[in-house]
Amino acid sequence: MEGRLRIPAEWERHEACWLAFPYRSDEWPLNLAAAQRSIASLCRCIAERGKEPVRLLVQNAELEAQAHALIGAVPSVEIVVADYGDCWLRDTTPLLGRDPTGALHGVRFEFNGWGAKYEIPLDEDVGPWLLGRIGAKELRSPLTLEGGALESNGCGTILTTASCALNPNRNPSATKASFERALSDVVALDRLVWLEKGLAYDHTDGHVDMVARFASPETVLCMRSRPEYPNAQALDAIAGDLGRAGFDVVELPAPPRLAAPDGTPLPATYCNFYVANEAVIVPTYGVAEDRIALETLEDAFPGREAIGLNAFDLLCGGGAFHCVTQPQPAPS
């Protein structure tokens, strides 16, 4: 596996979790302050209840003071001044892992603003900065991709969606076979499992972390459809494909139809959770399905508390808790 990196499963121990404080009013025209409060709450929850150190990026001293005021005195939250675009660090920073010697590496893909739809200044610069900050070696891939497009079980199996990975706005000449070959050049890969598409209204063209997540090497969480809910046909196909691939499938409820304040439909999901060292931080929406999702996830991750945080304000920007976090693996 020389030159290729094992991407750990998210339930493996983390040395820290990296997040970024939203600051661009052009990216958050309806709810910048609310998104900032959501990130602050998430930082506190990961640090205090997830028992995981947090590193929060801010653009300048003024935003540093603002973030401090929102988060409060939490010793395990470190605020770091740096240049970055928006808060979606899962996609704009490299996927991190350690080699057998314990050395930290990062797989860095080409990044084009989610298919040239959201080209934000400094989004391409934060990845190299982070690798330098943590002393990680870069493994570069020619694939155009974001971190949220891949879900690893830590044992060589990765999930992805064709609607994103093979989209002409990212990898126009790729086939499933050529994509798999290119990915296996940098990532330790025994099996790549394809789902055809993700959620409607997802800005990312259907990232897998919105629809399917590992809970163990052989267990995958996805969402159970209801005929009157959005994405029912897609969710049925995902569950069926995962079952045919031989996984133990555990279904979460699907949230009901949600819309942003301007009426735009939202890609609501319970799959975009973050697995911290001692908790699972779950996006919730103030609906009846929240309780069932929390109970299911607590059963799926024994020994970790499932904690619900309202994710509506972040979802208005296109994602939730997995999208805004980048875990730094702990030394083994």
Give me the percent of the chain exceeding a pLDDT of 70. 99
- Nearest one of 139, 117, 204 to 165, comparing CA atoms: 204
Q: What is the pLDDT of residues 220-247, one digit of tens each?
A: 999 998 888 778 999 999 999 999 999 9
- Is the four-CA dihedral 140, 141, 144, 149 of positive or negative sign? negative
**pLDDT of res. 3:** 55
C-alpha Rg value of the chain to the nearest Å? 18
Contact 162, 193 (CB under 8 A): no
Q: Where are the domains of the chain?
A: 14-329
Give the whole-angstrom CA distance, residue 18 versus residue 79. Answer: 10
Backbone angles phi, psi at 15, to 5 degrees: -75, -35
**pLDDT of res. 4:** 84
Three-state SS for the chain is CCCCECCCCCCCCEEEEEEECCCCCCCCCCCHHHHHHHHHHHHHHHHHCCCCCEEEEECCHHHHHHHHHHHCCCCCEEEEECCCCCCCHHHHCCEEEECCCCCEEEEEEECCHHHHCCCCCCCCCHHHHHHHHHCCEEEEEEEECCHHHCEECCCCEEEEEHHHHCCCCCCCCCCHHHHHHHHHCCECCCEEEEECCCCCCCCCCCCHHHCCEEEECCEEEEEECCCCCCCHHHHHHHHHHHHHCCCEEEEEECCCCCECCCCCECCCCCCCCEECCCEEEEEECCCCHHHHHHHHHHHHCCCCEEEEEECHHHHCCCCCCCCCCEEEECCC
Contact 108, 141 (CB under 8 A): yes
Give the whole-angstrom CA distance, residue 283 versus residue 286. Answer: 10
Residues in the chain, pLDDT under 50 = 1-2
Give the whole-angstrom CA distance, residue 103 versus residue 98. Answer: 5
Q: Specify the amino acid at residue 213.
A: R
Mean pLDDT of the chain: 96
Other Cβ atoms within 10 Å of 76 Cβ, number: 16
∠ CA 99-166-324, rounded to 5°: 55
Other Cβ atoms within 10 Å of 130 Cβ, number: 25
Q: Specify the amino acid at residue 297.
A: L
Q: Specify the amino acid at residue 43.
A: C
| Catalytic machinery residues | 323
Q: Classify domain 14-329 at the CATH superfamily level.
A: L-arginine/glycine Amidinotransferase; Chain A (3.75.10.10)
Contact 219, 227 (CB under 8 A): no
Order across the sheet with 104-110: list the strands. Answer: 95-98, 104-110, 137-144
